[in-house]
Structure 1
Amino acid sequence: MSDPGARQEGVERRSWILTRLRSLGFLSVADLARELGVTPMTVRRDLHALESAGQVRMVHGGAALTPGELHTPAFPEDGHSAGRLRVAERAATSVDDGDTIAVDAGPTALALAGALRPSFCGSLITHSMPVLALMAARRYTSRTVALGGELLGDRHAFVGPATEAALDRLRARTFFFAPSAVDARGTYAHSPAEASVQRKLAGIADEVVLVATTDVFVASAPARVTDLAPLHRVVTDRPPPPPVAAALRAAKVPLDVVGCS
């Protein structure tokens, strides 16, 4: 007789594999085995099961999605996907399976949600529609708390009084913050409405971890969110410009640079 627990673990692994393939397009058996903490043989069994269901196609060394599983990404390709994945994977290592976390909107925040371990069984709070869709597709045993409100089209996120009111009685251990721009004076959003939601999310969290690719440090956005002092950690794929690095040191904010290996 097969073990029901083992069957459930297999379902969770295969759901996680599909989610990552939808983000990356291709995954090698070696990378999957390393990220999942299982043997390559286990990964191949999962891939064969997904191939039998018509969801992936086996290729040399790994697997890709079948055409029917492909979908239009929430955010256009901007040349920073590799760095975004490194940042997300590094930041996600700080999340314990039972944590309550808040996840911002935008492509880097979405990558962070996608990098959570398959064993994550805590709670996730977000105003991001793509993050909500990802969590639903992964069939986690975790709880997802959706913050509704007015939809901000370019960020695919909810903002406004209803969104902020939903946060009044919530708390998180960590807020993974993905601003639109960062300079030596602080962090910025493209709209005052989103900046206000981000401040509220930071306010319910025990710690704020800023996740960003290098382009964010040279971008410009008009709505100030906060200065650098409230940040507990910055995870990025390249060293920020010297004025930003100096401001982070002055604010005693640890900087974690995840470069190419």
Structure 2
Amino acid sequence: MSDPGLRHEGAERRSWIVTELRSVGFLSVADLARELGVSPMTVRRDLHALESAGQVRMVHGGAALTPGELHTPAFPDDGNSAGRERVAERAAASVGDRDTIAVDAGPTAYALVRALRPTFRGSLITHSMPVLTHMADRLHAWRTVSLGGELLGNRLALVGPSTEAALDRLRARTFFFSPSAVDARGAYAHSPAEASVQRKLAGIADEVVLVATADVFTASAPALVTGPAALCRVVTDRPPPAAVAAALRAAEVSLDVVGCS
């Protein structure tokens, strides 16, 4: 975030909040209070005023832009949207209407949330800002738990010690895991900070479902998140390489390949 300096006037604080939200999509109350040098109660009053003016939508733990204020797509088009939608729809079909789920960052996880049934009335835990923004735009009675932290720009995710601390007393039925790369040894993230958050998310879940398009099997990333044994199921759009498939079989991980119709 840019340094807002001392802001004693409510109008100036609120203008800064909207400007920052246009840049990052979601801000937590705690982060806003720290950056602005005011109390969380003052931040909440500012957010309520902005929500009344139709500029932001408050969600659990912070605020996101309203649909009319957000002009850019969550992720750039990588040419694989059709495969991503198939994976997302297959994985979302397994979510019960009252489940508590944890959702990773990245475009495939974002697509999964968009594919949830309209009847979903459960709870969702995430560190993904596009997911939080999407949840703020929906009128359904979903409970969303946002995990604050430091912005990881390329994944539009919140990471760091505060993100991990927020997970200590949470539990989910399923963690939908969307890593940056996968090989026979396991799944990887581009940064150790994100890998650490992903491990914590996996640790609070009864089951871990990896959702990814097949490009992750040829991608490379340095930070190991977990080995195949931590996974319950993999949902992808094309068969993985033989070595990856063999590692999944050895770990008794269910492989669900959603082919073209």
TM-score normalized by the length of structure 2: 0.73
Report SS of the residue matched to 2:230. Answer: coil
Name 1:113's counterpart in structure 2: 113
The yes-or-no answer on 1:145 pairing with 2:145 is: yes
Report SS of the residue matched to 2:229. Answer: coil
What is the CA-CA distance between 1:71 and the residue it aligns to?
3.6
Name 2:31's counterpart in structure 1: none
What is the CA-CA distance between 1:79 and the residue it aligns to?
1.1
Deviations 1:95-131 (A, max 9, x none): 0000000000000000000000011100000000000
Name 1:218's counterpart in structure 2: 218
CA distance in 1, matches of 2:124, 2:107: 17
Aligned pair count?
194
Report SS of the residue matched to 1:207. Answer: strand
Name 1:244's counterpart in structure 2: 244
Amino acid at match of 2:212: A
Amino acid at match of 1:255: L
Deviates more, 1:137-146 or 1:205-214: 137-146
CA distance in 2, matches of 1:83, 1:107: 12
What is the CA-CA distance between 1:72 and the residue it aligns to?
2.0
What is the CA-CA distance between 1:69 and the residue it aligns to?
9.6
What is the CA-CA distance between 1:235 and the residue it aligns to?
0.1
Q: Percent identity?
A: 81
The yes-or-no answer on 1:207 pairing with 2:192 is: no
The yes-or-no answer on 1:164 pairing with 2:164 is: yes
CA distance in 2, matches of 1:152, 1:171: 24
CA distance in 2, matches of 1:142, 1:74: 21
Name 1:180's counterpart in structure 2: 180
Report SS of the residue matched to 2:228. Answer: coil
What is the CA-CA distance between 1:257 and the residue it aligns to?
0.2
TM-score normalized by the length of structure 1: 0.73
Name 1:64's counterpart in structure 2: none
What is the CA-CA distance between 1:138 and the residue it aligns to?
1.3
What is the CA-CA distance between 1:184 and the residue it aligns to?
0.2
CA distance in 2, matches of 1:92, 1:69: 28
Deviations 1:123-173 (A, max 9, x none): 000000000000111122010000000010110000000000000000000
Report SS of the residue matched to 1:229. Answer: helix
What is the CA-CA distance between 1:70 and the residue it aligns to?
8.8
CA distance in 2, matches of 1:120, 1:227: 31
CA distance in 1, matches of 2:69, 2:147: 28
Name 2:4's counterpart in structure 1: none
The yes-or-no answer on 1:74 pairing with 2:83 is: no
Name 2:257's counterpart in structure 1: 257
Aligned pairs (5 A) from 1:100-139: 100-139=100-139
CA distance in 2, matches of 1:167, 1:216: 26
Q: Could you list the runs of 5+ residues in structure 2 that have no partner in the other structure?
A: 1-67
For the aligned residue pairs, the C-alpha RMSD in angstroms reads 1.2
CA distance in 2, matches of 1:123, 1:74: 22
Aligned pairs (5 A) from 1:14-53: none
